[in-house]
């Protein structure tokens, strides 16, 4: 890591200091008059849901994707004025106020950093980075350019989830000392495949972008890129990103943990996937070292099973000194008191009311010159858990972490995985400071 410590590049603050011109223009977008213009970068399945959340509050200027068919499909859905396969064209357009990054993981931070440096606000899908170093650079870029960067952990703007967290904040189960989250589902076997020529209409060179060049292969392209080290972060970083974030939020911890342990591997799928299909991950925050201040987060992933707790494929349990609370983004919530008796219809004393959705919170944050609910510093700290867990599984070793410096101590091989190898010969999207 550079000489800048975590304290230097992740400072709390109520406002982001937008210029008067930027503030005036964006304020109109969520009140009256001309709306914000956004560029959709990455036009696959996730972007189709995201753009619906902006409908009525922003206009789409560009649909950008190296797959021409996907760009055209997004243009039809969003009524985007133009399509392109080159992110730089979107960033050069001065009429564009913000971009939505819904690309494969290996493009998330590079695209978002370039957008920040172009003065654009950014909504970046989870996980915000492919590796921890890129996340650090993205936080720095957001602060340096004084732009809003919203991380796509949508539970932060869910009234249901936010009020469950509010009950924890109000002490309804006492001091929360442990959280346990899970992502359990049955995914598909991606099989074994050989390299082929890319499909017609696909600019594969741009799709690979800053990553190491690998030949096109059908089972590491659309969506299946999730399971390849070069492009994705596995299901720990895919669906698990939401439960990791919810668990960390409810625990009330800040920054990175000091200890990380994880075991896992391919227990079920005999295919080309490189990431584990089974993993159990544990993280510890020591607090000030005294009894009652240490906190622990456990995350379980099984992507070959249809059997899961509470009949919910995803969820988080919070264990406090006076009870337990379970909540799932599937709309389920239960609470037990200190005598293990079910609490009837639990509600917070002071309910919170988030924005209508995560996208509207992003637009309102720009208008109000404030941090969004899933500010990039929050997103980075949650995403760091993903990267550390994947490193622990790949190395087969427990990790000791320096939370302030955001480094792994006394393990050269694991430390090398905090960044990545980029394309041989370079690429225009590789973030500076990754060497």
DSSP assignment string, 384-403:
HHHHHHHHHHHHTS-EEEET
pLDDT score recorded for residue 17 = 52
User: What phi and psi, each to the nearest 5 degrees, are found at residue 4?
Assistant: -65, 125
Nearest-10 Cα torsion for 234, 67, 138, 251: -40
For 187-200, what is each residue's pLDDT tens digit? 999 999 999 999 99
CB 73 within 8 A of CB 126: no
pLDDT score recorded for residue 56 = 92
Instruction: Name the pLDDT band for 29 (thresholds 50, 70, 90).
Output: very low
| Four-way CATH pick for 6-156+357-375: 3.40.50.720, 3.40.50.10490, 3.40.50.620, 3.30.70.20 | 3.40.50.720
Residue 399 confidence (pLDDT) above 80: yes
Instruction: Identify the residue with better confidence: 291 or 404.
Output: 404
* Average pLDDT score, the chain: 93
pLDDT score recorded for residue 16 = 54
CA 321 from centroid of its chain's CA atoms:
30
pLDDT score recorded for residue 292 = 82
Residue 3 confidence (pLDDT) above 50: no
Average pLDDT over residues 343-372: 97
Instruction: Name the pLDDT band for 23 (thresholds 50, 70, 90).
Output: very low
Query: For residue 284, what is the enclosing H or E element?
Result: strand 278-285
pLDDT score recorded for residue 221 = 97
pLDDT score recorded for residue 38 = 98
Neighbours of 374 (CB within 10 A): 28
Instruction: Name the pLDDT band for 12 (thresholds 50, 70, 90).
Output: very low
Residue 26 confidence (pLDDT) above 70: no
Place of tokens 């101590």: 409
Cα–Cα–Cα angle for 337, 341, 347, nearest 5°? 55
Residue 24 confidence (pLDDT) above 70: no
Residue 25 confidence (pLDDT) above 80: no
For 196-228, what is each residue's pLDDT tens digit? 999 999 999 999 999 999 999 999 999 999 999
For 254-301, what is each residue's pLDDT tens digit? 999 999 999 999 999 999 999 999 999 999 999 888 888 899 999 999
């Amino acid at each position: 890591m550079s000489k800048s410590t975590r304290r230097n590049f992740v400072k709390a603050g109520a406002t982001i200091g937008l210029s008067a011109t930027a503030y005036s223009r964006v304020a109109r977008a969520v009140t009256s008059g001309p709306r914000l213009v956004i560029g959709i970068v990455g036009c696959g399945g996730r972007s189709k849901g995201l753009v619906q959340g902006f409908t009525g509050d922003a206009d789409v200027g560009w649909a950008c994707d190296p797959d021409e068919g996907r760009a055209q499909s997004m243009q039809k859905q969003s009524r985007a004025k133009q399509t392109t396969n080159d992110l730089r064209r979107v960033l050069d357009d001065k009429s564009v106020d913000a971009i939505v990054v819904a690309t494969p993981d290996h493009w998330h931070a590079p695209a978002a950093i370039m957008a920040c440096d172009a003065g654009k606000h950014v909504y970046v899908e989870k996980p915000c980075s492919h590796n921890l170093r890129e996340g650090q650079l993205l936080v720095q870029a957001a602060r340096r350019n004084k732009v809003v960067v919203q991380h796509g952990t949508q539970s932060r703007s869910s009234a249901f989830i936010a009020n469950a967290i509010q009950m924890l904040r109000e002490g309804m189960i006492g001091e929360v000392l442990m959280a346990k989250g899970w992502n359990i589902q049955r995914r598909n076997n991606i099989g074994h495949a050989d390299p082929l020529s890319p499909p017609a209409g696909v600019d594969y060179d741009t799709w690979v972008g800053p990553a190491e060049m690998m030949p096109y292969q059908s089972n590491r392209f659309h969506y299946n890129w999730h399971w390849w080290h070069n492009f994705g972060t596995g299901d720990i970083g895919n669906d698990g990103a939401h439960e990791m974030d919810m668990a960390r939020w409810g625990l009330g911890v800040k920054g990175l943990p000091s200890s990380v342990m994880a075991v896992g591997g391919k227990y079920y799928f005999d295919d080309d996937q490189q990431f584990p299909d089974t993993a159990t991950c544990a993280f510890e925050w020591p607090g000030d070292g005294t009894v009652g201040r240490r906190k622990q987060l456990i995350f379980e992933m099984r992507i070959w099973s249809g059997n899961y707790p509470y009949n919910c494929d995803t969820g988080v349990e919070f264990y406090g000194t006076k009870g337990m609370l379970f909540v799932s983004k599937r709309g389920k919530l239960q609470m037990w008191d200190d005598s293990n008796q079910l609490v009837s219809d639990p509600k917070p004393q002071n309910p919170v009311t988030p924005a209508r959705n995560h996208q509207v919170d992003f637009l309102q944050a720009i208008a109000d010159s404030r941090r969004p609910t899933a500010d990039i510093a929050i997103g980075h700290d949650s995403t760091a858990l993903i990267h550390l867990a994947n490193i622990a599984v790949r190395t087969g070793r427990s990790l000791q972490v320096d939370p302030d410096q955001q480094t792994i101590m006394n393990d050269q091989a694991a430390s090398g995985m905090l960044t990545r190898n980029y394309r041989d010969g370079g690429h225009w999207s590789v973030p500076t400071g990754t060497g």
